[in-house]
Amino acid sequence: MSEPPRGIQPGNGVDEYLFDPRLLERIVDIKDGIWVRPLSIEDYDKGFIQVLGQLTKVGDMSKEQFSERFRKMKASGDYYVIVAEDKNVGEVIASATLLTEQKFIHNCALRGRLEDVVVNDKYRGKSLGQLMVRTVSLLAQRLRCYKLSLDCKDTIVKFYERLGFIKEPANGNHLNARFDYESPTSNL
Amino acid sequence: MSEPPRGIQPGNGVDEYLFDPRLLERIVDIKDGIWVRPLSIEDYDKGFIQVLGQLTKVGDMSKEQFSERFRKMKASGDYYVIVAEDKNVGEVIASATLLTEQKFIHNCALRGRLEDVVVNDKYRGKSLGQLMVRTVSLLAQRLRCYKLSLDCKDTIVKFYERLGFIKEPANGNHLNARFDYESPTSNL
């Protein structure tokens, strides 16, 4: 048996986590009672949904819905949701998601996508957003992503630029088509 | 046994496809000898890699590498690579990818991502790019994505705007961090 990685307490089975916690080894340590770890299936009861609710509409998600999505993400193997937990109170206080998009191009490369970065309002000003983004960035490199992409509002561009992201010349546009849920009919 | 969907020839097993071809039913039909279908594991020998090579660097991908990535994508269930085949010559002449990103937000929604749209140079001017994007868009709706997102260069924004995509006010930025493949060390 090898030593348990730093930050992972013996007795906590790794089965509960979305991905192997050892992937965060030597990236983040516990500091001021705050540790960064993979999302756990137990986090529904630890305030994860409430934190996401500070980012956007989450909806009235049951524990069963959460668990089902968690399992689907885990089965896919492309989802790396990380959370910061305040061990003093046992609550999730921040989250960020790395999606590793499988490509055929660039020798079957992985492209990282940074999604859904959020920090509990009460914990603002502690650079936790920065910690989450840097953790995802290092994790993306560890997983050998050739780049890490994100889409964001004008107001947050400078924050990401300080963390090494670049709006590339003539190639920095993000567009959306939004749908209602009616069945589509062909209009080709 | 139900009738085989239009465009899917009896005798072609569905096992070779990346996703169930019936998902494209009533979205696209054969026209002028060109049909749109899911990527097949046989497409390595039908010019798929050469078409992708017109988009960006693909690298020296072996059939084994292609097949392995194909199977991983298929196992994940989030990848919908479509191709257009010219039945007259039996070659792949265009491709586009829909990635359905699993979310916790918005009631465990799916967010669609349009990626890697490419048309063989020789077939330009036949609105095949439009056909591929519209097919992905309708497929995304069929799969109940709440939106379909893409990143693009300045020169192609108008093309996508004509197909219903919008650069949302103050929220249309796409940023990247590019990595070499050296092992990351913590700098947190």
Could you read off the pLDDT tens digit of each residue along chain A, which spans 188 residues? 344 444 444 445 567 999 999 999 888 777 889 999 999 999 999 999 999 999 999 989 999 999 999 999 999 999 999 999 999 999 999 999 999 999 999 999 999 999 999 999 999 899 999 999 999 999 999 999 999 999 999 999 999 999 999 999 999 999 999 997 644 444 44
| pLDDT given for residue A31 in this prediction | 80
pLDDT score of B1 more than 60? no
Task: For residues A55 and B106, give the distance between their C-alpha atoms in angstroms, rounded to a whole number.
Answer: 11
Name the one residue in this structure whose structure tokens are 């193997």.
Answer: A77
Contacting residues of B for A164, CB less than 8 Å apart: 177
| pLDDT given for residue A97 in this prediction | 98
Query: A149: nearest CA in chain B?
Result: B176
Contacts of A138 (CB under 8 A, 6+ apart): A27, B184, B186, B188
| pLDDT given for residue B13 in this prediction | 57
pLDDT score of B137 more than 90? yes
The percent of residues in chain B predicted with pLDDT above 70, rounded, is 88
Tell me the average pLDDT across B134-140.
97
3-state secondary structure of A24: helix
Task: For residues B85 and B78, give the distance between their C-alpha atoms in angstroms, rounded to a whole number.
Answer: 22
DSSP symbol at B152: E
> B66 vs A167: CB contact, 8 Å cut-off?
no
Q: Which residue from A104, A131, A151 is facing B173, i.e. has the nearest CB?
A: A151
Contacting residues of B for A159, CB less than 8 Å apart: none
Query: How many Å separate Cα B142 from the centre of its chain?
Result: 15
Tell me the average pLDDT across B94-105.
97
| pLDDT given for residue A10 in this prediction | 43
Please choose, from the candidates A117, A39, A123, the residue with its C-alpha nearest in 3D space to the C-alpha of residue A82: A39
Task: For residues A50 and A37, give the distance between their C-alpha atoms in angstroms, rounded to a whole number.
Answer: 18
Please choose, from the candidates A78, A174, A72, the residue with its C-alpha nearest in 3D space to the C-alpha of residue B104: A72
Q: Specify the higher pLDDT residue, A14 or B125.
A: B125
* Paired tokens of A131: 């910690």
Query: A160: nearest CA in chain B?
Result: B175
Q: Which residue from B68, B151, B183 is facing A174, i.e. has the nearest CB?
A: B151
pLDDT score of B11 more than 80? no
Q: pLDDT-derived band of residue B181, with 50, 70 and 90 as boundaries? A: low
Task: For residues B76 and B102, give the distance between their C-alpha atoms in angstroms, rounded to a whole number.
Answer: 11
What CATH number is given for A14-162 in this structure?
A: 3.40.630.30
> B108 vs A178: CB contact, 8 Å cut-off?
no
Task: Write out the CATH class of domain B14-151.
Answer: alpha beta
Closest-CA distance, B175 to chain A, in angstroms, reads 5
> A56 vs B165: CB contact, 8 Å cut-off?
no
Task: For residues A176 and A174, give the distance between their C-alpha atoms in angstroms, rounded to a whole number.
Answer: 7
Q: pLDDT-derived band of residue B183, with 50, 70 and 90 as boundaries? A: very low
Q: Which residue from B138, B141, B176 is facing A147, i.e. has the nearest CB?
A: B176
Domain boundaries, chain B: 14-151
Query: A25: nearest CA in chain B?
Result: B186
| pLDDT given for residue B166 in this prediction | 98
Task: For residues A39 and A97, give the distance between their C-alpha atoms in angstroms, rounded to a whole number.
Answer: 9
Helices (H), chain A: 48-52, 63-76, 105-108, 128-142, 157-162
| pLDDT given for residue B29 in this prediction | 72
- The one-letter amino acid code at A7 reads G
| pLDDT given for residue A26 in this prediction | 83
> B175 vs A154: CB contact, 8 Å cut-off?
no
Name the one residue in this structure whose structure tokens are 């799916």.
Answer: B110
The percent of residues in chain B predicted with pLDDT above 90, rounded, is 80
Cα B117 to Cα A105, A150, B129, B141, distances in angstroms: 12, 19, 7, 18
Tell me the average pLDDT across B59-73.
95
3-state secondary structure of B37: strand
pLDDT score of B103 more than 90? yes
Question: Which strands sit side by side in the sheet containing A91-102, from one edge to the other?
Answer: A34-38, A79-86, A91-102, A110-119, A145-152, B173-178, A173-178, B145-152, B110-119, B91-102, B79-86, B34-38
User: What phi and psi values does residue A128 have, to the nearest 5 degrees?
Assistant: -70, -35
Task: For residues A128 and B114, give the distance between their C-alpha atoms in angstroms, rounded to a whole number.
Answer: 31
Q: Specify the higher pLDDT residue, B180 or A25.
A: A25
| Cβ neighbour number for residue B30 with a 10 Å cutoff | 14
| pLDDT given for residue A51 in this prediction | 97
pLDDT score of B127 more than 50? yes
| Cβ neighbour number for residue B68 with a 10 Å cutoff | 12
- Give the angle A33-A38-A44 at the CA atoms, nearest 5°: 85
| pLDDT given for residue A181 in this prediction | 60
Please choose, from the candidates A143, A158, A140, A32, the residue with its C-alpha nearest in 3D space to the C-alpha of residue A84: A32
Task: For residues B89 and B94, give the distance between their C-alpha atoms in angstroms, rounded to a whole number.
Answer: 14
* Paired tokens of A42: 């137990």
| pLDDT given for residue B14 in this prediction | 65
Give chain A's end-to-end CA distance (angstroms, integer). Answer: 59
> A102 vs B73: CB contact, 8 Å cut-off?
yes
Q: Which residue from A65, A99, A182 is facing B101, i.e. has the nearest CB?
A: A99
Contacting residues of B for A183, CB less than 8 Å apart: 141-142
